[in-house]
Amino acid sequence: MSSPLLSVRDLSVAFHTDDGVVNAVNDISFEVHPGETLAVVGESGSGKSVSAMALMRLLPSSARIQGTIEFDGRDLLGLSPRDMRRLQGNEIAMIFQDPMTALNPVFTVGNQLVEAIRIHNPKVSKRAARERAASMLALVGIPDADERLDNYPHEFSGGMRQRAMIAMGISNEPKLLIADEPTTALDVTIQAQVIEVIKRAQEATGAAMILITHDLGLVAGVAERVQVMYGGRLFETGPTETIYYRSRNPYTRGLISSIPSATARTERRLAPIPGAPPSAINPPKGCVFRPRCQHATDECFTEPGLRRLDEAALHQSRCHYAEQLGEMDTAASGSRT
Amino acid sequence: MSDHEPTTPSEPAERAIVLDVQDLVKHFPIRAGLLRREIGRVQAVDGVSLSVRRQETLGIVGESGCGKTTFGRTLLRLIEPTSGTVLFNGEDVTAAEAPRLRELRRNMQMVFQDPFASLNPRMPVRDTVAEPMLVHGTPKTEARARVGELLEAVGLSPEHGNRYPHEFSGGQRQRIGIARALALQPEVIILDEPVSALDVSVQAQVINLLEDLQEEFDLTYMFIAHDLSVVRHISDRIAVMYLGHVAELTTADRLYDAPAHPYTHALLSAVPIADPRVELSRERIILQGDLPSPSNPPSGCRFHTRCPIAQERCREEVPALRELVPGHFAACHYALEPGETIIQRVEDLGREVEIAGQGGSEMVIPPVPFGAGDAKGATGSG
């Protein structure tokens, strides 16, 4: 495999609040290779968005960040704010869940696209930048792109705004695209359009992508590798098919068996995970999933490490019983009758 | 309770009709100017007729602006309908005077999407759950005693009653909302996106709870949601709405196995499935264009502007919701046959299909460019 584009080592993020220290992300390590799509999956409070914000250095100054983030040979946490700004929106771009908060309502879409292009390429003329902006909008499937550049964000529908933001994100041909719940606010038919656009944009630019989502359906069709987070920890990581069909983690399995299927018959009963996700301030002792885990034993009062499940360490799981779980049938593991 | 054989005493189709909605319309006026003159109307619900049978779950699905939420609220007259009738056990809800309406609402309760907004933050949960009983004249001591039972029924403990909403997680708050809806022993509960604010693992808990409660208390549900997987899971029959109209109405399995309306086809094909092999191998239809505004809906069939198989007639004539086979209704002039795919029909019509994606598995079907040449939809792939 090629050398990684992004290499995160032992990343931890903590916030000091009035209620105590929130350990939002604990010691996560992962790599992203050029051109690949890595999905980061988790429920609310799992730390999936915070870790992406840490990569982009978008967290408030109250956040304590530890660890190393190496992007294309540079240490991101050591970069000056000025150098970091050169990377943001250029080599690394981010697509947010809510495009209305990311687009400035008082400037036209064209203005913002042109600015995004010229800020990183000052030598490009306004006219050339506008031409590029129009071709970007056309690439993301906005009809009459040239005229649409003169619209304000409020004149765009939700799906179009999201496309405009994708256009902005890829306008400088980033090496890495971070998409944080890019379709969560959209209707199903629009979501399908936007996913198609993201795939097309990624193909056109060859960018690697980190897709942050709670939607396991979305992940199944887009990602090559999946990383499951829970309670601020990396719980399992592996190739997409491995995670869906040969997961060796009770949380991942529980998550998959919780999803109602649009293809299955209606009589099947869902197998939810009991209880609720842990508090980040006062997490359970030992394995953070222990209180909800049906396989938990006394051993689980000590925190498990990530166990390698193959030689290349592509598949790793944070569970004392990762190997034993492997003997079970994934589909049946979650169901209790 | 965990035994979940479909222990239906009789087929849903033979049971009595609890809720019968006929030609329900809700238009919101758009006013502007000094005199607040009406300059237009948002046609949120525009002539919906359907019925719900006892102990049945009728799912209502659709995208934003399709009128599903307005429809649910109009049934209880939380929003006054513009016209149409709602019969509850044969009695006209829309004609009921205030005291009678309150009586009727005992039997028709509602659970809302946002468990954070629908609970009073300054009221202990016990009071929130007891409130509807007190309003409807249950003696205080009796109401208090029942709160404990209700909290247990929804999987909480009676001691939880002393706490305030902020002390609960999202899933627990939704359980409280359900306990409150159950307090008056209603026959019908209208659930408006009851699980969409919850995490997947917790969502499944609440869905199972709703199924258990339905069996235990013989409840009839109207389940309004945008998530087709959840709706399929819980519903016996499903109505698909598009811009204030019912596009298709049939049993859950039939809707998924043999959808007749092209919109249903596209909607089902757009839903991602949490199975990589299925997801990467199936053909997906991606509709072009955005949802039109309900204040200015398209003429004729409201779906014709995005419909890949629309023909001239669809632009002019509103299709009636007609029964294709017993129990299967669709509002389409050119409904698809069972097993027929949109792609086949598009090819039969001699139209172009754009194929996107590396695997060639995604079909991007442009809508029919009526009149204006063929400028739209031809978004070149990269």
Among B252, B286, B358, beta carbon nearest to A193: B286
Per this entry, what is the length of chain A?
337
Tell me the chain A residues in contact with residue B274 when contact means C-beta distances shorter than 8 Å. Answer: 216-217, 219-220, 244, 256, 259, 261
Which tokens in the block code for residue B135?
A: 């309003």
d(CA A207, nearest CA chain B) in Å:
14
Give the pLDDT mean for A241-266.
85
pTM of the predicted model as reported, rounded to 2 decimal places:
0.86
Chain A residue with the nearest C-alpha to that of B8: A267
Q: Is B282 exposed, middle or buried (0-12, 13-18, 19+ CB in 10 A)?
A: middle
Percent of chain B with pLDDT over 90: 64
B277·A217 Cβ contact <8 A: no
How confident is the model over A65-111, as pLDDT tens digits? 999 999 999 999 999 999 999 898 899 999 988 777 788 999 999 99
Tell me the chain A residues in contact with residue B228 when contact means C-beta distances shorter than 8 Å. Answer: 188, 262
Tell me the chain A residues in contact with residue B204 when contact means C-beta distances shorter than 8 Å. Answer: 258-260, 270-273
Among A143, A255, A267, beta carbon nearest to B201: A255
Q: Is A312 exposed, middle or buried (0-12, 13-18, 19+ CB in 10 A)?
A: exposed
The pLDDT of residue B279 is above 60: yes
Among A199, A245, A254, beta carbon nearest to B201: A254
Confidence at residue A96, expressed as pLDDT on a 0 to 100 scale: 86
The pLDDT of residue B7 is above 50: no
Best probe of the B interface among A144, A205, A259, by most B CBs < 10 A, is A259
d(CA B349, nearest CA chain A) in Å:
23
Among B3, B256, B290, beta carbon nearest to A190: B290
Q: Is A143 exposed, middle or buried (0-12, 13-18, 19+ CB in 10 A)?
A: middle
Residues contacting residue A171 through CB under 8 Å, at least 6 positions apart: A113, A116, A117, A132, A133, A136
The pLDDT of residue A329 is above 60: no
Which tokens in the block code for residue A183?
A: 């379709």
Is the alpha carbon torsion for B132, B136, B140, B143 positive or negative?
negative
Q: How far apart are CA B58 and CA B260, in angstroms?
A: 18
d(CA B116, nearest CA chain A) in Å:
15
How confident is the model over A124-180, as pLDDT tens digits? 999 999 999 999 898 888 888 899 999 999 988 888 898 899 999 888 889 999 999
Q: How far apart are CA B236 and CA B215, in angstroms?
A: 14
A259·B274 Cβ contact <8 A: yes
d(CA B137, nearest CA chain A) in Å:
35
The pLDDT of residue A326 is above 60: yes
CB pairs < 8 Å spanning A and B: 173
Give the pLDDT mean for B359-364.
58
Tell me the chain A residues in contact with residue B362 when contact means C-beta distances shorter than 8 Å. Answer: 196
| A325 or B92: which leads in pLDDT | B92
Place B374 in a pLDDT band, splitting at 50, 70 and 90.
very low
Tell me the chain B residues in contact with residue A43 when contact means C-beta distances shorter than 8 Å. Answer: 199-202
Average pLDDT score, chain B: 87
Listed by start position, the domains of chain A span 34-48+79-261+268-337
- Give contacts of A 129-148 with B, CB under 8 A: 138-139, 141, 143
Give the pLDDT mean for B308-312.
92
The pLDDT of residue B8 is above 50: no
B208·A269 Cβ contact <8 A: yes
- Give contacts of A 271-330 with B, CB under 8 A: 271-274, 276-277
DSSP B319-373: PP-EEEETTEEE--TTPPPTT--HHHHHHHTT---EEESTTS-EEEEPPP--SST
The DSSP 8-state label assigned to residue A262 in this structure reads S
CB count within 10 Å of CB A328 equals 15
- Which among A100, A106, A227, A112 is positioned nearest to A169, based on CA atoms? A112
Give the pLDDT mean for B314-334.
95
Average pLDDT score, chain A: 89
Confidence at residue A199, expressed as pLDDT on a 0 to 100 scale: 87
How far is C-alpha B72 from the chain's CA centre? 8
Which tokens in the block code for residue B294?
A: 């309900």
Percent of chain B with pLDDT over 70: 89
Chain B residue with the nearest C-alpha to that of A255: B201
Tell me if chain B has a CB within 8 Å of the CB of A240.
yes
Among B201, B267, B273, beta carbon nearest to A220: B273
**Lowest-pLDDT choice from A252-261, B34-43, B275-284:** B275-284
Best probe of the B interface among A163, A187, A199, by most B CBs < 10 A, is A187
Place A337 in a pLDDT band, splitting at 50, 70 and 90.
very low
Confidence at residue B363, expressed as pLDDT on a 0 to 100 scale: 66
Q: Strand A176-180 relative to strand A208-213: parallel, antiparallel, unpaired?
A: parallel
Which tokens in the block code for residue A144?
A: 């009459």
B51 in helix, strand or coil? strand
**Angle B224-B226-B229 from CA coordinates, rounded to 5°:** 100
**What's the CATH number for A34-48+79-261+268-337?**
3.40.50.300
* CB-based contacts of A321-326 (< 8 A; 24+ apart in sequence): A321/A250, A321/A295, A322/A248, A322/A249, A323/A248, A325/A247, A325/A248, A325/A249, A325/A250, A325/A253, A325/A295, A326/A246, A326/A248
| ipTM tops the 0.85 cut | no
B271·A262 Cβ contact <8 A: yes
Q: How far apart are CA A281 and CA A23, in angstroms?
A: 7
Tell me if chain B has a CB within 8 Å of the CB of A206.
no
Characterize B31-40 residue by residue with b for buried, 16 or more Cβ atoms within 10 angstroms of its Cβ, and e for exposed.
Answer: eeeeeeeeee
Give the pLDDT mean for A43-50.
90
Residues contacting residue B35 through CB under 8 Å, at least 6 positions apart: none
Confidence at residue B1, expressed as pLDDT on a 0 to 100 scale: 42
How confident is the model over A286-325, as pLDDT tens digits? 999 999 999 999 999 999 999 999 998 899 999 999 998 8
A304: left (phi over 0), alpha (psi -120 to 50) or beta: beta
Among A157, A200, A220, beta carbon nearest to B381: A200
Give the pLDDT mean for A276-285.
87
Chain A residue with the nearest C-alpha to that of B197: A44
Alpha helices in chain B (DSSP H): 68-75, 98-106, 125-135, 140-153, 170-182, 200-217, 228-234, 252-257, 262-270, 276-281, 312-316, 342-348
N-term to C-term CA, chain B:
54
The pLDDT of residue B108 is above 50: yes
Which tokens in the block code for residue A302?
A: 């000590």
Answer for the pair A40, A49: CB distance below 8 angstroms, yes or no: no
